[in-house]
Amino acid sequence: MTDHQPGPTSPKAQLIAGEVRRRIVEREWQQGERIPDEADLAVTFGAARATVNKALQLLADEGLLDRRRRAGTRVAVNPVRKAVFTIPIIREQVESAGMEYSHRVIAQRRSPVPEAIATRIGLPAGRILIHLRAVHYGNDRAFQFEDRWINPDSAPGLDTVDFRHQNANEWLVRNAPYLRADIAFSAENADRRDARLLRVPKGQALLILHRSTWNDAGPITTVRIACHPGYVMSTAG
């Protein structure tokens, strides 16, 4: 088509998704109800079916629609609530807050991995990994304390890296991209070591982030990050 309407300012698929979302929110299409099929909607909205498909996929990903072949598309009864968190790179986070970033390595040594950690990443207990402990600072205020185990087989040259001069996370991000990652949040009372390194009272509630990464050759690293009190992890809008 060479001639067509003035042209919307945002992509058509987005507009369609927005309109469908509105109809759901305003109860024009009720929970569990079947909505018109893609071909019909394509006609109603004056778009190609592929465009409608894209819009509906979007809403299905959001958890607002349930779609099944042959059965059609219906409004989700229990909209799944998904939240996307962007795991910040500590340095960027500190610097974007206008503070100066620094970090200090508390310990770096080769050591047999404890059972609890070995099972978490699927390695036999007792394997020799690099054990690294470091604190990240913003303007000399402790921000995070990380306790990390690194698989020396996961990247060439890992054995000889001195993480005192080189942030472990950044080195790994650049030198050992991962295929799969697991992330978990929990809360713990600061133990003696957390308390000392983060300079908070023992027992202080801390947000704990556990992250493990793998590539096709096996586990790369697993880390427990203890965040300073008051740290909030929120859906970046």
* Residue 183: strand pairing partners: 211
Q: Is 11 in the site for DNA (CB under 7 A)?
A: yes
* Given 20, 28, 33, 69, the residue binding DNA (CB under 7 A): 69
82 touches 62 (CB < 8 A): yes
Nearest approach, Cβ of residue 198 and its own copies (Å): 12
DSSP annotation of 157 reads T
Q: Is 72 in the site for DNA (CB under 7 A)?
A: yes
CA distance 216 to 222: 16
204 makes contact, choosing from DNA, its own copies, none, with CB < 5 to 8 Å by partner type, with: its own copies
What are the backbone angles phi and psi of residue 138, rounded to the nearest 5°?
Answer: -125, 120
CA distance 201 to 153: 38
Q: Is residue 194 classed exposed, middle or buried when 0-12, 13-18 and 19+ CB atoms within 10 A define those classes? A: buried
* Given 69, 70, 81, 165, the residue binding its own copies (CB under 8 A): 81
Q: Binding-site residue total for DNA (CB under 7 A)? A: 30
* Given 23, 31, 44, 48, the residue binding DNA (CB under 7 A): 48
**Sequence-separated (6 or more) residues with CB below 8 Å from residue 96:** none
Site for its own copies in 90-149 (CB under 8 A): 92
Q: Is 124 in the site for DNA (CB under 7 A)?
A: no
Nearest approach, Cβ of residue 78 and DNA (Å): 18
Q: Is 32 in the site for DNA (CB under 7 A)?
A: no
Q: Which is nearer to its own copies, 112 or 203 (CB)?
A: 203
* Residue 221: strand pairing partners: 150, 213
**Sequence-separated (6 or more) residues with CB below 8 Å from residue 81:** 63
Residues that bind DNA (CB under 7 A): 1-2, 4, 7, 11-15, 37-39, 46-51, 53-54, 56-57, 60, 67-73
